Structure 1
Amino acid sequence: MSRKVVNELFQWLVALVLAAAIVIPIRVYVLQPYRVYMTSMVPTLEPGDIVIGLKSAIVGNGIERGDIVIVGGAFSNGELYVKRVIGLPGETISINDGEVYINGQKLEEPWLPSDGGFNSSGELSEVKLGENQYFVLGDNRFASRDSRS
């Protein structure tokens, strides 16, 4: 092989190693791609959609009501789900006639269709969230396994 070809191959190898050195830590520690499989976030997210989330260690306390998050937990059997943050630490959540209440105040949910077709008719007694606890719901309340479970 000529010196020019070897030099060019070496440059490509260096570029690949540098790219991997950047991409792999970002994927492992910062970003989490996730494919949506269920209908629990319809109409916002459809089955087959791909979302990219920040890992919780990066987000820290920056989670706000209305954020879409990738979660696991007691209700998830080790699986990950995409849900919307409804309740924040220290708040009291209840659901009456399909409407969500936070600390006794009805929650306006502009992310849901205005026809109300995705509200559940369910009830939920008051739930007081502790420190570092969040209440999450799917936008399609009829087909969502979430904090109500």
Structure 2
Amino acid sequence: MSRLTSTEIGAWNGFLRVHSRVWNTLEDAMIKRCGLTMAAYELLLAVEEAGEAGIRMSDLAGKLRYTSGGLTRLADKLQQQGLIQRLRSETDGRGFQVHLTPQGQQKLRRIHVEHLRDVRQQFLGRLSAEEQQTLAAIWQKLEGTTR
């Protein structure tokens, strides 16, 4: 079949429109509130999740779906702002481990609560608990994962 059905068009276009609206609204709020993009926020969260050991730049790029060049540019900006530090890997002198600085931890804590409030306001709060469960199952199915 070379064309989408009207249902398929509605499902696909709805996803694209809602994703764009929610992402842009969240990013605008993040930039106004603290001067960070959503990409920078995601990077800080991923580094925080890695814990005290930090995370290798190559692993971080894969986790965030970045090219190494794109990640390096973003990491450079965050390091200049004092939010992260990159240290040579103790196990492999060629690679770098990324760590949150105390300033980065503080900034992340400060913006996290407000960001989650925005996520609930712009997206999750518009769905019932049952709809959230259904949508979570759909995303898992599309990712090819199961719980």
TM-score computed with the length of structure 2 as normaliser: 0.27
TM-score computed with the length of structure 1 as normaliser: 0.27
- The structure with more radius of gyration: 1
Specify which structure has the higher proportion of helix: 2
Specify which structure has the higher proportion of strand: 1
